[in-house]
């Protein structure tokens, strides 16, 4: 028997494992590992001021017009899920990245990487969904590409979309523009997309159906901008959830952000699912929600404008930008205490958008 | 959520905090055993609600954290072999072994799957008869019944391609070790509610008798913990040392008898090494001889695998409540959840990771971003 040998004697710890030599799933999570990959490998390679802004889209001036330009790849499994599919996600995701720059979406490209053996009917459904989603925005799909890879080299179908949009003169939105005193607005309940995907993947069933919130946000943005006031930043909290987006804003603007836990809207079903699965909804992906950072005086008028729009009916003011704890997001809990809302190192859920 | 929101009610929390402050006349050091409880304390900032005289220190009850290095190495070895599938609880994947972790084995082509229940691994074995399927069975008494059930089921079905890498640990021997240390400072314990749901709290009566230290079986919500702390302070202030049960909605004296039967059917008590603590006698479960053919250690010839853990961090002091995570010079700089130096930083339920994730602003630890 070796009782009591440990506590009175020496204590031992493992040596950390560096994660610099191979790519891990966590590098695609939108969390800390993704940020490191950007910082250490991507940004140094392509160093330029537009890319360096690290916004969801590049805004460039061309012949007097201000164009927003963005790209995104979609690798979701399952391909079809309640509330959407990889096709609608590929349109709305890129439309939303344009909209977060304040841009009116104009044109999209679509590129498919298809694994051989994919049923033609599946491809037909995906294409039909892309067409329908683009029609609704409306945005035109004006160019594209198709590649087929060997069985086992893909996962059914991957889609890349790029988009171009037009930004109004004078509108300057960036994650580096938040200032102390600004208010943080959220357009509705969080976590529905991520929980929908997880439930589908794991075969979990809930008493009432949870659907992905997948939706194009450009018309909500237009309604908000029409309310007037000074907008600092818009973000759609996709992979990595609300927490990752707010952490990025706090870091890039060198400010603190304090959230009010009680103000963050959450559907009961999502809350229960997260409780059961041991997940924090603050880190779960959304595909039809946005965060707005606005000057204090604009908060109420913008909130009202959001609530009048169907995609912003559940909007709330969820926090304030501060000059404390710079670079950190903190939360006033329901108990009145304060805690950090950290950025995760890697995945909470693997590959959801 | 009904039956849960009541235990997060701010008004009740403040009333309990006021009650604790009224009762407290001197400094008391209390330990919550379970990592889940540590996580709640940090996440809800319950330490901010407590009077300054109450010092909470954080116990070794994080199964991911205390799984020994050599067991992680064994799992990595199994997952690296062709024709094998390792099924694991998700949190184990990023625990560093001697040279690598399971995430990286997965990235290099190892077949590693995350499951919410060990029964899923039996299903994987059934559906993949050409693969050796191994479940990585870690945890305290809480996860033991389900893990036992998986082995029992595999034997009933006559599965020849299923086995289990067992690294179960038991709570009472760890508390006994802690209380036996000459450096012990802990004066009262919040016993782990989920563990006691399974095994009851008879064993904790022995500890109370042998060491004259009060124990309260506690739950995992903010109100549970505040109530348990209030009960502990009550005992200490009145000079009592008993086992009390705060978590009555889940825990009975006897525990869950059918669960205990399946555990006894499949598992024997054995010595077990704890990461960051060392070897503790009769502090774990291993498979009974009748189930030896399901023992991954034996099937894969891994009994001799050992790993020396280099002394780098102060997890010993943290796990004994001698030091706070903040007091470690590596905290938040050389040691983060992403690059853990020691056991308590490994899992979200470890004390250092919980401090890092939720409380580091309180200690004015600034981080270079």
CA distance B280 to chain A (A): 4
**Residue of chain A whose Cα is closest to the Cα of B343:** A13
Distances (CA, A) of B75 to B110, B139, B178: 11, 15, 28
Q: Which residues of B touch A259 (CB under 8 A)?
A: none
B51 three-class SS: coil
Contact residues, A window 188-227, toward B, CB-based 8 Å cutoff: 202
Q: Indicate the pLDDT class of residue A351, thresholds 50, 70 and 90.
A: very low
A12 CB near a chain B CB, below 8 Å? yes
Whether A183-340 and A54-167 are alike in CATH topology: the answer is: no
Q: What is the pLDDT of residues B333-363, one digit of tens each?
A: 888 877 777 778 877 778 898 899 898 887 6
Question: How far is Cα B337 from Cα A33, in angstroms, rounded to an integer?
Answer: 12
Judge: B358–A337 Cβ closer than 8 Å, yes or no.
Answer: no
A106-112 average pLDDT score: 98
> Which of A6, A26, A339 lies at the smallest CB-CB distance from B45?
A339
Confidence tier at A26 by pLDDT (50, 70, 90)? confident
Q: Which residues of A touch B277 (CB under 8 A)?
A: 6-7, 11
Q: In what helix (H) or strand (E) does residue B80 lie, and over which residues does it extend? A: helix B69-80
Chain A nearest C-alpha distance from B105 (Å): 10
Least confident of A13-17, A223-227, B114-118: A13-17
**Phi/psi-derived region of residue B45, left when phi > 0, alpha when psi is between -120 and 50, beta in every other case:** left
Q: How confident is the model at residue A15 (pLDDT cuts 50, 70, 90)?
A: very low
3-state secondary structure labels for all residues of A149-166: ECCCCCCCEEEEEEEEEE
pLDDT, position B310: 56
Beta strands in chain B (DSSP E): 28-34, 54-61, 84-88, 111-114, 132-139, 162-169, 188-192, 215-218, 243-245, 267-274, 278-287
- How does residue A275 score in pLDDT terms, banded at 50, 70 and 90? confident
pLDDT at A3 over 80: no
Structural domains of chain B in order of their starting residue, each with its CATH number: 5-62+171-245 (3.40.50.11750), 65-169+255-299 (3.40.50.11740)
The candidate with the shortest Cα–Cα distance to A186, out of A286, A61, A324, is A286
CB-CB under 8 Å, B222 with A335: yes
Contact B125, B154 (CB under 8 A): yes
pLDDT at B305: 86
DSSP state letters, B242-261: -EEES-TTT--SS--HHHHH
pLDDT band with cut points at 50, 70 and 90 for residue A347: low
Kindly report, residue by residue over A120-158, the tens digit of the pLDDT: 999 999 999 999 999 999 999 999 999 999 999 999 999
Q: State pLDDT tens for residues A42-98.
A: 999 999 999 999 999 999 999 999 999 999 999 999 999 999 999 999 999 999 999
**A18 to chain B: which residues are within 8 Å by CB?**
339
At A317 the pLDDT is: 98
Cβ separation B315–A11 shorter than 8 A: yes
Domain ranges of chain A: 54-167, 183-340
A90 and chain B in contact, CB less than 8 A: no
Residue A277's closest chain B neighbor by CA? B116
Please answer yes or no on whether B4 and A275 come within 8 Å at the CB atom. yes
Q: Percentage of chain B surpassing pLDDT 70?
A: 96
pLDDT score for B67? 87
Out of B43, B44, B180, closest to residue A4 by CB: B180
Q: Stretch B217-226: mean pLDDT, rounded?
A: 97
Architecture of the domain delimited by A54-167: 2-Layer Sandwich (3.30)
pLDDT tens-digit map of A154-177: 999 999 999 999 999 999 999 999
- Topology classification of domain A183-340: Phosphoribosyl-aminoimidazole Synthetase; Chain A, domain 2 (3.90.650)
Q: Report the pLDDT value the prediction gives residue A33, as an integer from 0 to 100.
A: 83
Question: B107–A337: do the CB atoms touch at under 8 Å?
Answer: no
Kindly state the percentage of chain A with pLDDT values over 90: 78
Q: Are B84 and B58 in contact (CB under 8 A)?
A: no
Dist. CA B26–CA B23, nearest whole Å: 9
Does pLDDT of B278 surpass 90? no
Contacts of B126 (CB under 8 A, 6+ apart): B157, B159
Q: What is the pLDDT of residue A348?
A: 59
Give contacts of A268 with chain B, Cβ < 8 Å: 1
Does residue A16 come out as left (phi exceeding 0), alpha (psi in the -120 to 50 range) or beta?
beta
> How many other C-beta atoms can be found within 10 angstroms of the C-beta atom of residue A102?
25
């Amino acid at each position: 028997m070796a009782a009591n040998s440990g506590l009175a004697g020496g204590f031992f710890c493992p040596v950390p494992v560096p994660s610099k030599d191979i790519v891990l799933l966590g590098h695609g999570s939108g969390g800390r590992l993704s940020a490191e990959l950007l910082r250490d490998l991507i940004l140094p390679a392509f160093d330029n001021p537009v890319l360096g802004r690290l916004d969801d889209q590049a805004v460039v001036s061309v012949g007097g017009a201000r164009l927003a330009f963005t790209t995104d790849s979609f690798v979701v499994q399952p391909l079809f899920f309640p509330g959407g599919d990889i096709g609608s996600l590929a349109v709305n995701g890129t439309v939303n990245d344009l909209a977060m720059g304040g841009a009116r979406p104009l044109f999209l490209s679509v590129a498919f990487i298809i694994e051989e053996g994919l049923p033609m009917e599946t491809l037909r459904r995906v294409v039909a969904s892309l067409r329908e989603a683009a029609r609704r925005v409306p945005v035109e799909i004006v160019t594209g590409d198709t590649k087929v890879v060997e069985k086992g080299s893909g996962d059914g179908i991957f889609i890349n979309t790029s988009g171009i949009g037009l930004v109004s003169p004078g509108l300057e939105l960036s994650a580096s523009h938040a200032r102390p005193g600004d208010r943080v607005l959220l357009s509705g309940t969080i976590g529905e997309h991520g929980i929908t995907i997880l439930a589908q993947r794991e075969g979990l069933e809930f008493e009432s159906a949870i659907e992905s919130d997948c939706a194009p946000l450009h018309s909500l943005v237009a309604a908000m901008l029409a309310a007037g006031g000074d907008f600092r930043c818009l973000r759609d909290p996709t992979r990595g959830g609300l927490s990752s987006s707010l952490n990025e804003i706090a870091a890039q603007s060198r400010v603190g952000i304090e959230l009010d836990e009680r103000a963050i809207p959450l559907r009961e079903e999502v809350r229960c699912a997260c409780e059961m699965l041991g997940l924090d909804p603050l880190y779960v992906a959304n595909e039809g929600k946005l965060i707005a950072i606005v000057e204090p005086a604009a908060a109420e008028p913008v909130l009202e404008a959001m609530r009048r729009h169907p995609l912003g009916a559940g909007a709330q003011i969820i926090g304030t930008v501060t000059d404390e704890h710079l670079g950190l997001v903190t939360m006033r809990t329901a108990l009145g205490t304060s805690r950090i809302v950290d950025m995760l190192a890697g995945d909470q859920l693997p590959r959801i958008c | 959520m009904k039956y849960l929101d009541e235990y997060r009610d701010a008004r009740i929390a403040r009333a309990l905090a006021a009650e604790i402050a009224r009762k407290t006349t001197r400094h008391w050091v209390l330990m919550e055993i379970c990592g889940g409880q540590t996580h709640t304390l940090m996440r809800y900032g319950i330490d901010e609600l407590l009077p300054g005289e109450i010092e909470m220190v954080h116990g070794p009850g994080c199964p991911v954290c205390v799984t020994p290095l050599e067991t992680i190495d064994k799992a990595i070895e199994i997952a690296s072999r062709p024709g094998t599938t390792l099924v694991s609880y998700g949190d184990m994947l990023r625990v560093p072994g001697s040279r690598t972790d399971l995430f990286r084995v997965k990235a290099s082509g190892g077949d590693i799957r995350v499951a919410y229940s060990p029964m899923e691994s039996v299903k994987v074995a059934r559906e993949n008869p050409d693969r050796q399927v191994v479940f990585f069975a870690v945890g305290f008494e809480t996860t033991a019944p389900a893990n036992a059930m998986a082995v029992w089921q595999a034997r009933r079905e006559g599965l020849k391609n299923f086995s289990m890498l067992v690294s179960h640990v038991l709570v009472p021997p760890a508390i006994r070790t802690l209380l036996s240390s000459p450096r012990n400072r802990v004066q009262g314990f919040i016993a782990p509610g989920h563990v006691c749901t399974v095994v009851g709290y008879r064993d904790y009566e022995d500890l109370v008798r042998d060491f004259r230290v009060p124990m309260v079986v506690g739950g995992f919500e903010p109100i549970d913990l505040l109530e348990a702390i209030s009960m502990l302070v009550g005992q200490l202030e009145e000079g009592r040392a008993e086992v009390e049960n705060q978590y009555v909605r889940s825990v009975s004296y006897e525990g869950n008898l059918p669960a205990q039967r399946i555990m006894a059917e499949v598992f024997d008590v054995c010595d077990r090494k704890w990461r960051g603590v060392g070897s503790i006698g009769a502090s774990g479960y291993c498979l009974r001889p009748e189930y030896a053919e399901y023992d991954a250690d034996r099937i894969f010839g891994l009994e001799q695998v050992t790993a020396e853990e280099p002394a780098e961090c102060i997890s010993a002091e943290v796990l004994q409540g001698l030091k706070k995570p903040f007091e470690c010079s590596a905290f938040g700089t050389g040691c983060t959840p992403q690059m853990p130096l020691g056991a308590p930083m490994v899992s979200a339920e470890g004390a250092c990771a919980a401090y890092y994730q939720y409380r580091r602003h309180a200690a004015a630890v600034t981080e270079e971003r």
